[in-house]
Amino acid sequence: AQKITQTQPGMFVQEKEAVTLDCTYDTSDPSYGLFWYKQPSSGEMIFLIYQGSYDQQNATEGRYSLNFQKARKSANLVISASQLGDSAMYFCAMREKGSSNTGKLIFGQGTTLQVKP
Amino acid sequence: EAQVTQNPRYLITVTGKKLTVTCSQNMNHEYMSWYRQDPGLGLRQIYYSMNVEVTDKGDVPEGYKVSRKEKRNFPLILESPSPNQTSLYFCASSNIWRTGLSSYNEQFFGPGTRLTVL
């Protein structure tokens, strides 16, 4: 079963507008964390934001915020005031504590975001 | 500077020629892992290690070996590479999971190794 689902293979957004990238997850572990990574065309993985399953408030990091809806198992990334440099692939990932505490990171398939000038 | 390094960054090789991709981290992390990235599939875990001399298979271990003789190093070994191992490879490291400590659980990624097997 797919544990992380990103349903938008590709998206466009106009520069300076906000955009939401969808992510749903599936776990029965009460201890988990959700991550968003950005991968520009150069290939490196850039950490953007993290939300822990016990965190009461939605995480924010500059122009990035995570819309965490625990009951719906949803962890959407919101990018405000898009910039041309935001054009990249974005990955949602989950880390479960698990019974053996391996802390493995499970990734979605990714969403390609293109920002139009 | 806290970082994960990988070498080489790019490699073109031929089927059957043994190769090693090195990975090193300077953050004293217990947990290290290798992922491969393929179009449409995201990143999938190959092998991981919880500490020195403790390694285990991830989701796609066939055709790969690893070792963890020192805490900082976690090399990926392809004994007999095949064209279906052409991929982008990432090494990552982190602390062992801690519930409730947000920044503690981040995984740090190396810059990636683009491998082509002809």
Maximum Cα–Cα distance for chain B, whole Å?
46
Size of interface A-B (CB pairs under 8 A): 76
CA angle B40, B45, B49 (to 5 degrees): 165
pLDDT band at B100 (very low <50, low <70, confident <90, very high): low
For the cut 90, the answer to whether the pLDDT of residue A108 exceeds it is yes
Amino acid at B98: R
Check if A107 contacts B (Cβ < 8 Å): yes
Report the Cα B118 to chain-centroid distance in Å: 21
Note the pLDDT of residue A54: 87
Q: Which residue in the block uniquely carries the two structure tokens 């279906």? A: B84
Closest-CA distance, A49 to chain B, in angstroms, reads 9
Check if B33 contacts A (Cβ < 8 Å): yes
A52 contacts B97? CB cut-off 8 A? no
- The 10s digit of each residue's pLDDT in B27-68 is 999 999 999 999 888 899 999 998 899 999 999 999 999 999
Distance CA B102, CA B100 (A): 6
* Interfacial B residues in 80-109 facing A (CB < 8 Å): 88, 90, 92, 94, 96-97, 99-100, 102-103, 105-109
For the cut 90, the answer to whether the pLDDT of residue A69 exceeds it is yes
Chain B residue with Cα closest to A40: B111
* Residue A16 φ/ψ region, left for φ over 0, alpha for ψ in the -120 to 50 degree band, beta for the rest: left
Half-sphere exposure of A95 (CA within 13 A, CB side): 30
What is the C-alpha radius of gyration for chain B, rounded to an integer number of angstroms? 14
pLDDT band at B2 (very low <50, low <70, confident <90, very high): confident
